[in-house]
Amino acid sequence: DTGVSQDPRHKITKRGQNVTFRCDPISEHNRLYWYRQTLGQGPEFLTYFQNEAQLEKSRLLSDRFSAERPKGSFSTLEIQRTEQGDSAMYLCASSMGTSGRALHEQYFGPGTRLTVT
């Protein structure tokens, strides 16, 4: 399968614990995006990377959220001291990142569903 993959697919954690999610983009894609989706809403942009550079992170929901893409390939999203309001689907997407449709046609992964109890 050469699509975007995310791990784990489901995560149940207790409030206050830290969680980390991984995203592996399509191999030739240099842009990687993180979104959060709650029930009845469209995906909400969190942050994105061009190769290893994090070019936009102002939409990360709080300082408990952080993301990395250390070698410009896979990325991790960490949530520290989880709260019940963090329960959501966390989606990763990637794109070629050049211009036109290749820039904007984002391929989404299956998501990680987080439940904070």
Question: Which of the residues 41 through 70 are near another protein (CB under 8 A)?
Answer: 41-45, 48, 55-56, 59
Check if the beta carbon of residue 67 is closer than 8 Å to that of residue 5.
no
Where does this chain touch another protein (CB under 8 A) — which range of 16-24, 39-47, 61-69, 75-83? 39-47
Among 22, 68, 73, 108, binds another protein (CB under 8 A): 108
Distance (Å, whole) CA 19 – CA 16: 10
Residue 50 or 87 having the CB closest to another protein: 50
Taking only Cα atoms into account, the Rg of the chain, rounded to an integer number of angstroms, comes to: 14
Lookup result for tokens 């842009």: 31
Amino acid at 107: Y
Encoding tokens for residue 83?
A: 């709260």
Q: In the complex, which residues of this chain contact another protein (CB under 8 A)?
A: 4, 33, 40-45, 48, 55-56, 59, 91, 101, 104-111
